Chain A
Amino acid sequence: DIQMTQSPFSLSASVGDRVTITCRASQNINNYLNWYQQKPGKAPQLLIYAASSLQSGVPSRFSGSGSGTYFTLTISSLQPEDFATYYCQRSYSIPWTFGQGTKVEIK
């Protein structure tokens, strides 16, 4: 199976900071990479699909880039409601797999 490795495991940042989370695939997955946000006690929500397409209703401060084996999720200016855990997920071939998650905490 294709493995997904997210980094960092966690990070502390301040409101207004630019934050970047990375996700690496163990082999080429083209642009078949999605990003989700999960807040404590809540279901995940789709942020980015196909590596760089912003889901409807998601603020434009979120952006995704990359292809092949290296992908990033960037929050251009961190807002209080963005403190959450973020997961990447590949959809190149079954079984779908998620990264380990990155917890974004308040500094």
Chain B
Amino acid sequence: EVQLVESGGGLVKPGGSLRLSCAASGFTFSNAWMSWVRQAPGKGLEWVGRIKSKTDGGTTDYAAPVKGRFTISRDDSKNTLYLQMNSLKTEDTAVYYCTTEYSSSSGQGNWFDPWGQGTLVTVSS
């Protein structure tokens, strides 16, 4: 069974840092592109960023609101995805989901499936 389990959320003060983890199982993690998507309380979904597989370059892309503050990395030996969040702001308060980003080889685009259950990050003084 494919499973993604996030951890590391919690309460942090503005300007602080936090590292989220996402443990993957049930599929070949090293071949997967992985994304983080967040959802502020009562709001919609917002893509945070992604990391490609090492065979596809291992490069990262980020949404503008987090670029320069957040870093996505992966440890394929541990089947784990990370999101290092620095200089946190109150507007970063959200549930953070990790998800596998499937990239179609037949020109149909990219989509997210499956998703983890999410971990809540609260940025407040």
Contact = CB atoms under 8 A, between A and B. Distances in A.
B27 interface: no
A5 B45 CA distance: 13
Contacts of B113: 45-46, 49, 55
A72 interface: no
A96 B62 CA distance: 10
A101 B45 CA distance: 8
A50 B112 contact: no
A66 B118 CA distance: 31
B44 A98 contact: yes
Given A87-B45, A95-B47, A49 B108 contact: yes
A43 B117 contact: yes
B24 to A, nearest CB: 14
Contacts of A95: 47, 61-64
Nearest to A100: B44
Given A43-B115, A95-B63, A101 B44 contact: yes
B110 A96 contact: yes
A89 interface: yes
The interface size bin for chain B is: 20 to 34
Determine the main DSSP class of A at the interface with B: loop
Interface string A78-101: 000000000101111011111111
B109 A50 contact: yes
A50 B117 contact: no
B108 A50 contact: yes
A34 interface: yes
B104 interface: yes
Interface string A1-25: 0000000000000000000000000
A44 B112 contact: yes
Interface of B: 35, 37, 44-47, 61-64, 97, 102, 104, 108-118
Given A32-B110, A44-B45, A55-B113, 13 more contacts: A30-B109, A32-B108, A42-B117, A43-B97, A43-B115, A43-B118, A46-B112, A50-B109, A91-B110, A92-B109, A95-B64, A96-B47, A101-B44
